[in-house]
Each structure stands twice: as structure tokens, then as C-alpha cells.
Amino acid sequence: MTDTTLLLGAVAYDPKVVAIWDGFQEYFAKRGLPFDYILYTNYERQVEAHFAGQIHVAWNSPLAWLQSERIAAALGRTAQAICMRDTDRDLTSVVIARDDKTVSTLADLKGRRVAVGAKDSPQATLIPLYYLSQQGVEPHRDCKVVEFDVLSGKHGDHIGGERDAVRALLRGDCDAACIIDGNHLLFVQEGTLPSGATRAIGQTPPYDHCNFTILDGAPSGLIAQFQDLLLGMSYADPQVRRLLDLEGLKRWLPGRTEGYELLSQAVDKFGYLDSFVTSVVARCS
């Protein structure tokens, strides 16, 4: 890998990902930034590639950010979140139940079945299950967790697992479902959740989602140009608006990391990252 072209890694969670990064490649090229990208089938492969020096910057899920941060710390290196979407900040997940009064509070979930998304989804599994434990309902002990593990390795960036979870709730196969708040609204709008059929019985504290991650040693000039171009994109520009709409934002913001603390606590409780972090550190040492 040379330092004459900025090379980004992203995960192909949906066919639109190609259109997104082709569009950004054209946008950057017109403004003098040599840019290319590599798509990975899963975040673990992308994180490994980043530490192997195959990419300069990674478009990471929150879980992939934690993986990168912890691997870097163990290797005596540093990871930095340089940019994120406005829509990546202050998100929440909700626990929903059917509006039939069978389940009215989180405490009512004891002895019942709770549907979640993919096992590696921060927003539909890890964070809401940690939230339940903090509210006195211990997953796997006080309630049965039913995973809808669609496309594992993509960290829940698709929404198939969440959609399957709410369908199981509506069928009566489960007594509650955990989904990100934005998808709750989407599922109502698209008719997956009939209006008035469900209601939220719990909501997690806020957390952050994706970011562009770099490691120490990344080409500083290219990174600075990349960050400046992102932060300078205006939704008022029709050509820019198309790209931003595809990626689901109105503007790019500087990266921050305090919004990952809730997920960090969740993975520590469940021991979720331990084996992966240890294996990558061993290979890189």
C-alpha cells in the first residue's frame, strides 16, 4: 500500500454501498484527493486488514471501533475516530411489546421470551440486553433471549434481524423485541408494525454509532484532506445531497468517542470482544 492514494475500507452490508463509495470517489477526485476503497464482507475482516496495513481509514461500526481501540491499546498503538455522521450521535434503542397489556413493564419480561437482532448488533442486541440487566432483568437467566442472527459479521448494519424480531413479536412467538429507535419509526411507516399494535416499555440511554477510524502512522496529509472535504460537504449542494442521502446524513461532524461507553460496558459484561481482540493482538505482536 502506498501513501499516494487514500485507501478506505468499508463493509458491504447492502448493494447500495458500491454506489455510495463510487460517488464519494468521484467527489474526492474532482477536489484533488486520490481516493479508492476496498469492500469487506464483515467488520472483523476489515479490522484485521486495518492492522495489517492494507487500508488507511476504516468506516467502522461502533463495535468495530471498540475492537480497533482495544487492539491498538494492547499493541501500544493509538486509534482515532476522525469523523462521523450527524445521525451517528445520541441514538437509543427501545424494547417494545404488543399493546395488549400482557407485558406492561420491563419487570413483566421475567420468564418470557425477548427477541433481538443479530448477535453482534450493538443497537438490537448488545446494548438493549445490557440495559435489561441494568433494569433488573438478567438476559438468559430471567428471560429467554431469541436471536434473529441475520448476516452475522455486519454488526447489525442491515435491519433484517430487527425486522424478523418484530415479526416474531407480532406473531406471538416472543413477548418483546429490541430494536433501534429509528427502525421502530421506520417499521411503523412501512407497515411492518401496524399503528397502535405495539408500544415501547423501555428505552436505553443514548449512544453513538459509526465513525471513520484511523491508526497511528496513517498518512497525515491525505487524512487531513479527507477530513476537510467531509466536513465541508453541504447538504444545500444538490450533487452532495444525493451522496449524503444515500449514506443517511445531513452533515459530517468531527469524531467523538464518549458515546461508545454504553457499548463498552455491554461487551465487558458479556465478554463479547475478548477472543477476537486476543487473536488479532497475537497475530500482530
The residue extents of the domains of the chain are: 6-88+208-284, 93-203
Residue 228 is predicted with a pLDDT of 98
Antiparallel, parallel or unpaired: β 35-40 and 6-11: parallel
Phi and psi at residue 81, in whole multiples of 5°?
-95, 115
Partners of 81 in the beta sheet?
213
The residue type of 82 is: I
Residue 2 is predicted with a pLDDT of 65
pLDDT tens figures, 135-150: 999 999 999 999 998 7
pLDDT at 154 over 70: yes
Distance CA 145, CA 84 (A): 31
Contact between 117 and 145 under an 8 Å Cβ cutoff? The reply is no
Q: CB under 8 Å, gap of 24 or more: what pairs does 132-139 form?
A: 132/95, 132/106, 132/202, 133/269, 135/106, 135/202, 136/106, 136/107, 137/106, 137/107, 137/109, 137/110, 139/114
Residue 235 is predicted with a pLDDT of 97
Same fold across 6-88+208-284 and 93-203 = yes
Q: Output 284 or 159, whichever has higher pLDDT.
A: 284
pLDDT at 121 over 90: yes
| 6-88+208-284 placed in CATH 3.40.190.10 | yes
pLDDT at 60 over 90: yes
pTM exceeds 0.85, yes or no: yes
pLDDT at 193 over 80: yes
Domain 93-203 belongs to what topology? D-Maltodextrin-Binding Protein; domain 2 (3.40.190)
pLDDT at 36 over 80: yes
Residue 156 is predicted with a pLDDT of 78
pLDDT at 1 over 80: no
- Give the residue from 68, 86, 90 showing the smallest Cα distance to 213: 68
